[in-house]
Every structure is written in C-alpha cells, then in structure tokens.
Chain A
C-alpha cells in the first residue's frame, strides 16, 4: 500500500509545486468594467492604454469588461458597496462627490506624489475629486460645452453663425422647416431622465450666466437663471426644438443634418466623423452665444474603490494614463480634453478647427454639478427636473416655477444641514 501512496505522491507533489509556482508568478489582473469599452472612440483609447500598461508591466493584465450604460451605474454602485469591488471605477462629476462622501474611494495621493503630480497640474474640473486635501480620482477626459453648428445648413439659409441671443433666436426660426423635419437647435424636452435633462439644459442656464446653485445656496430666482428658463420655455412652446425625443435620437438628428446647431461636448465630433463623414468637413463650433458668455464642463473620472483587490496595479494603470503620450491620445482619439492642460498639438487644431472653442471652454469652465452641494446631486437634479417639467409640460410660467423650485431647494438644503 505504501508503495502505491509513495508512487502517487511522486507525481502529485511536483504538479502541486508547479501549480503553486505558476500562481505565485501569475499576472495581477485589474478588473475594469465600464460602458466605455463598448463606445467606439473610448474603446479605442482604452485598448491603447491597456496595451501600453501591459507592455510596461508584464505582471499586470487588464480585464476590460463592457457593461451597457443603461445598467452600468446601478451595477457599479451595487458592486462597490457590496464588496465585489472592481479595481477601477468610472465616475462623473456628481457621482464622485457621492462616492467620496460615502467613504467608498481610496485616496490616490501616494501614487500621484510618487509620480510628481499635484492638483495644479490638472484642469480645474479635477478639484471636484478633492476632499480634505486628498485626491480621490483623476480626470480621464473632460467634455466642455460649446455650440456645434452645421456650416452648410447655415450657409444655405444665408444665416451667419449667431453671436448673441437675438441672432440665435432668429436663426432658430429661419432654420425650422417642418416639411423637411428640420430644426435649428435641439435640447432636452422629454419627461424623466433628470440627469440628462440637467446636463442638456445647462448650456442654456450657464450660458445665460445663471445656475441652480451658487456656493451651496439655491440661485434659481437670479435674473440670469430665470431668463434662461423663460427662453427654454419659449423655444419649446414655439416648437423650435424637437419635442419628447431622447438625447440619442436628437444627437442622431444632428449627425444626419436634421438639426443645425447643438450645444454639446467635443465627443460629438467623433459621432459625426463616424456617422456622416460628408458632414464632418462642415462641422464647426463656437462659444455659446448666450448673454453670460459662460460654459461648463462634464468630467469623467477614474478612481480606485476602497475595497479594490488590486490597488497597486490599478494605480499603475491610472499613472500610465497621465503620462504625455496617453494624454495626447485622449485628444486625438476621443477628441476630448485630457486631465492635464497643454496636451493639444497645434497640428491637431489645424486639422480640427472646431476643437478651439472646446479647448477655450475647458480651461475656464466649472463643473456642471450643483456648486457646493455636489454630494446631493441626484436628489437635487430630480427636484429640478420635476419643476422644469411642470414648466414645459404643464404650462406653469417660468417665474412661478423658479420661485417654487427655489423654495423646495432651500427646504432640501436646510434638511441636509440639520
């Protein structure tokens, strides 16, 4: 019997040692689930980044998992809070404040310090990821807002690019052609989707010089915000914007040249180049032509969850993204601004003249998240959407909506400070 046992051990032991050895030398796998793996330009950039990280660090493997955006935010939240945390999280402006407040993120300072990066090395939007002096996320891309326009449609209608509110409104009227199902401008006018409504109407509100919050206090009744709401209601009621469509549909209408102007981020240019190359040469962009001459940015952060199993490897991934070559690829591939300023080549600007307006907006634009109360953004955005919907769909006048919204936001903020 002993002979059989020894005989068996003779081949089991080396096999076991081999397995242990393999495990010890196995690559660390970073799990990085995000919807961006399914988006053409973002996926192209992420795959380049993945290759670069794996080439530089043979002991690191990146497992990029595409999660459709419809399910992504809930899934990420459930995974991070339930302990099945990914190694890298994707967070937009308000989300990162919520995650920081809930203690779900790891400070990145040790790795940033080692790589020699300080907060001042990043675009202003980066400050949203800072809490008590610690940096909890870095910008992957920044999408400032400017006005895209279809130069061909404007030329055919013999309209110069609008430079102020009056010429913008006149252009909207001139370009509206029900027979061709053509609109001069598009923005959100659909019930539900509070977050999207807020993002899409902010070019108007910020462009007028207004905002729903200033330094943590509601500012809906400011003359600028009220004027923006009145203008929004006016173009909705005069059917100068498509009604009831979701964002994806009217973006597609812009790409298919059924909408002449659209206030959005530079990523839209990628959609135009892919969906309608003939239009791309007529794609131009300019500063928002509204009285306040202001814009805002929408940032996409990379962060490491507190319970991420491979923090060190995840940090290497993020630090590689911050290096010059990958920062320049953010501009060239995604056509968005990267984390660090000064990464846009002159040659790129010559080939893509529309990008100038976005670069300018990105250097000064503040985050779209409600200022000073970013951590409560989802509830605040829902409250704002409810009242804006009252104005659009129930015919309540803008002034009354502004007063009611101001009162409810004041009550809400007071309840959170108790």
Chain B
C-alpha cells in the first residue's frame, strides 16, 4: 500500500475535475481569450484575425455615441430587471409561503413564465403589444384608461419599459423560487421573538425576513444583473432589434450588430470584452458581499 498523499487521495478531486476543466477550457476560456485577442486587431474576418491595432478598437468604441447610448440602455434595463424581479419575486414568495387551499397549484403556476421558451414568449408579447390589433390597447381602451392606442413597442421610452416588463415576467419565478427557499430557512422562533418584543409586520419584515434572505438576495442580485446586463438578447432582438431609434439597443445587441451585421469583428470583440469586464466587476462585488464575515 502506498502512503496517501500527492500520489493518492489528494489527486482524486483533480482527476474528477479534469473533464469539467477541459470542457470549460474548450468552450469558455479559449473563445474568451480569442475574443480578447481579436479585440486588439482590426479588419479581420472569420479565421483571419486582421492586423494588430493595440487599443484602437476600444478607442473607436468609446468615441462612439452609440456605445454610450447602449451602455445607458443596458444599465436601465438591468436595474429595471433587478428591481422588478426583486419586488415581484419576493412578493410572490411571501404570498406562497402562507398556507392556503391550492397552494401547491399556485406554486406550480408561478413557474409557467419561466418555463415558456424565450422566442415563444417574445412572439406572444409582440402580438399583445401590437398597436392596431394588440389586446393590451383593447383592454386599456375598454376600461377607459387610455383614449387612443399606445405604441408599446414604437414609443420611447415605452419600448424600453415594455421589454423590461416582459423580461421581469420571464425572470420573476426564479426570484420566487429562490426567495421561497430562503424564507423557509428562517426559524419561526425569530418571528415569535420579534412579536413578543412588540414588533409589527413591517418591523418583522425589516429585522427578521430581510436579514434572513440576505444570502439568497445577493445571489439573485448578481444573477439577474449579469443576465440582464450581459446576456439578454432574444426578447430584445425579436421585439424591437434595438429600436425605436436605439431606445432599446443594449450593449449585447450593439455587439451583435458590429460583429455580424457590420462585419467589424474587432469592434464586436472589444464591446464583448467591455461587457465581460463590467460583469466581472459585478461578480467581484458579489464575492465581497458573499464572503464578508457576518456581523455579530
């Protein structure tokens, strides 16, 4: 029998991790490094990287008014998603945590928006938002909430808010599930103790519920922010393609346009790298918050 150590048990975890690391290296790290390398080159197409241009593509991106517009749209879209998912997710979780007849069915129904494919959801919402034939205008007109039809996807900033609404509708079940899991870890005794101390519902929520779901909240915040900032594409592309007049053109849509429509892979790669850096900054904030020692 050899002695356990570097050649024995301590090697086992690395052996198990190797396939995952290899897969990540091929489908994640390699494309990421190539994209960063491409962002330092200009004029290439496909396998041809182009000529080395240093930071010229970054300078070009930062000098473009379209970049700053896209950055602003991305920030608003991400914040809207974050706030909407938090409020709807937590509100629904608090409701579904209570005991009432049909709670199981209600919990299953809440998941539906999350389960609908993005393309199908975007097409359905597209028809609901339609100016002439859309059901939203019909309902609001019937209820006398509006006197003439609203351009949900043709107005600005109406289009941005409409897209944010669809995105929140798709994402809030994730928040609900996570918050529900978090709420169930809070001991009932804490609420009991708070009530004995004279705390009302609002005080209990403030001093027991919110601290109890802090860890879940931090994870959700990070996930939603990174998703909405750096990955949201399908709904926006299908419903508005970044219009009207750039009103919903996020950094991701701009990246796609530069790389695939305008044949500027270097500019697209530079934009992608900028999105990556911003997402990394969010991740660092998350890691600091997640690993901060608990205050006693």
Contacts and interface: CB of A to CB of B under 8 A. Distances in A.
Contacts of A81: 45-48
A181 B155 contact: no
B159 interface: yes
A181 B263 CA distance: 41
Given A244-B129, A390-B244, 17 more contacts: A77-B260, A77-B263, A78-B46, A81-B45, A81-B47, A82-B47, A104-B45, A191-B154, A191-B242, A243-B132, A244-B151, A245-B130, A382-B257, A382-B262, A386-B243, A386-B246, A393-B154
B90 interface: no
Contacts of A181: 132-133
Interface in B142-164: 151, 153-156, 159
Considering the complex of A and B, which 8 residue pairs feature the smallest CB-CB distances, nearest first?
A81-B46, A192-B241, A191-B243, A191-B244, A393-B244, A389-B245, A244-B131, A192-B243
Interface of A: 74, 77-78, 80-83, 98, 102, 104, 181, 189-194, 242-245, 378-379, 382, 385-387, 389-390, 392-394
A242 B132 contact: yes
A102 B48 CA distance: 11
A296 B158 CA distance: 35
Contacts of A392: 154, 244
B262 A243 contact: no
Interface residues of B, number: 31
A99 B126 CA distance: 34
B240 A378 contact: no
A102 B263 contact: yes
A378 B133 contact: no
Contact of A386 (B45, B155, B245, B260): B245
Nearest to A85: B46
Given A80-B46, A81-B45, A393-B156, A379 B262 contact: yes
Contacts of B45: 81, 102, 104
B264 to A, nearest CB: 9
A249 to B, nearest CB: 9
Interface string B240-266: 111111111000000001001111000
Contacts of B260: 74, 77
A385 B240 CA distance: 12
Nearest to B129: A244
A211 B180 CA distance: 59
Contacts of B245: 191, 386-387, 389-390, 393-394
B46 A190 contact: no
Contacts of A378: 261-263
Contact of B240 (A74, A191, A243, A382): A191
A116 to B, nearest CB: 34
B13 to A, nearest CB: 37
B180 to A, nearest CB: 37
A76 to B, nearest CB: 11
Interface in B110-142: 129-133
B78 to A, nearest CB: 20
A192 B153 CA distance: 10
27 contacts: A77-B263, A78-B46, A83-B46, A83-B47, A98-B263, A104-B45, A190-B243, A191-B153, A191-B242, A191-B243, A192-B237, A243-B132, A243-B151, A244-B132, A244-B153, A245-B130, A378-B261, A378-B262, A378-B263, A382-B261, A382-B262, A386-B243, A389-B243, A390-B245, A392-B154, A393-B154, A393-B245
A276 to B, nearest CB: 19
B128 to A, nearest CB: 12
B162 to A, nearest CB: 11
Contact of B154 (A74, A80, A243, A385): A243
Contacts of A385: 243
A382 B241 CA distance: 11
Most chain B beta carbons < 10 A, residue from A82, A245, A392, A393: A393
Nearest to A83: B47
A224 to B, nearest CB: 24
Contacts of A191: 153-154, 159, 240-245, 247-248
B156 A243 contact: no
Interface string B41-62: 0000111100000000000000
Nearest to A79: B46
A361 B273 CA distance: 48
Contact of A245 (B132, B159, B237, B257): B132
A392 B153 CA distance: 12
Contacts of A382: 257, 261-262
A394 B262 CA distance: 26
Interface string B203-242: 0000000000000000000000000000000000101111
A104 B44 CA distance: 12
A393 B263 contact: no
A237 B274 CA distance: 40
Interface centre among B133, B237, B263 (most CB of A within 10 A): B263
Contacts of A102: 45, 263
A242 B132 CA distance: 7
Contacts of B244: 191-192, 389-390, 392-394
Contacts of A190: 153-154, 243
Contacts of A194: 241
Nearest to A242: B132
A13 B243 CA distance: 65
Contacts of A78: 46
Contacts of B132: 181, 242-245
A393 B151 CA distance: 8
Contacts of B263: 77, 98, 102, 378
